[in-house]
Amino acid sequence: MLGAGNMGSALVEGWTRSGLRGIVSTRSTGGNREAAAAADIIVVAVKPHVVHAVLEEIRDALHDGQILVSVAAAVSLAAIEKAVRVPVFRAMPNLPSAIGKGATAIATRSPDPARVVNLFERVGSVELVDETALHAVTALSGSGPAYAYLVIEALAAGGMKQGLKRGVALRLAAQTLLGAAAMAIETGPHPAELRDRVVTPGGTTIAGLHELEKSGVRGALMSAVEAGARRSEARAKELA
């Protein structure tokens, strides 16, 4: 692991928790050549503007049989492939990878993604996507945990407003999102169908949903993903 930002640290924590051995983490600049030369899979987890400096540092240390994975947003496969002569992958994981509950999308031109898929499956679920989809992935699952934490915070605040103690409200809000997400993943129906199972005519849920629709919550979340994707595209152009 070259670099140790928030995402890099989350991956190291998740892989360590999974029982993976032989992880070596370095700083974003300096000391990377030795680590890269000895690694089977090199994960570059640095800020996008630092990627090319790191690749320049390690390029002569790479050899046949290795794989390079970049988790830096907005730096294209083509740009990385120009700098190194090993199979290249781009991965977009997210923060819950630290506890093995991450969501990672992977793009590559390699015909054999198995080793990288297996690596990231240790810290959560994996989707193989075209590189063009990574802007949307960055905005959805990359940024999405921040939106989920905002929802947890807001639901808990609502509970506190109605008299619940802070700790009780936070635990109930977090567990509610956790349970709802697990049910969506494990049972398979569309979220709208699951939502309708909670709603009863004239009940509390439909009253609350009405308020959410009036406030434009659905549109706001869609706009958040759209804004994130636009920003990712803009960063890619800046770095090109």
| Helical spans, DSSP H, in 50-203 | 51-58, 77-83, 114-121, 134-137, 144-161, 166-187, 191-198
- Which of 3-7, 96-100, 227-231 has the least mean pLDDT? 3-7
What does pTM read for this prediction?
0.92
> Which tens digits make up the pLDDT trace of 41-69?
999 999 999 999 999 999 999 999 999 99
3-state secondary structure of 60: helix
Query: What pLDDT was estimated at residue 31?
Result: 76
Say if residue 3's pLDDT is above 80.
no
> Which tens digits make up the pLDDT trace of 69-104?
999 988 999 999 999 999 999 999 999 999 999 999
- 6-134 fold: Rossmann fold (3.40.50)
Domain ranges of the chain: 6-134, 144-235
Say if residue 26's pLDDT is above 90.
no
Residues 6 or more apart in contact with residue 209 via CB below 8 angstroms: 195, 199
Query: What is the pLDDT averaged over residues 136-164?
Result: 98
- 144-235 fold: ProC C-terminal domain-like fold (1.10.3730)
CA angle 35/37/41 to nearest 5° reads 80
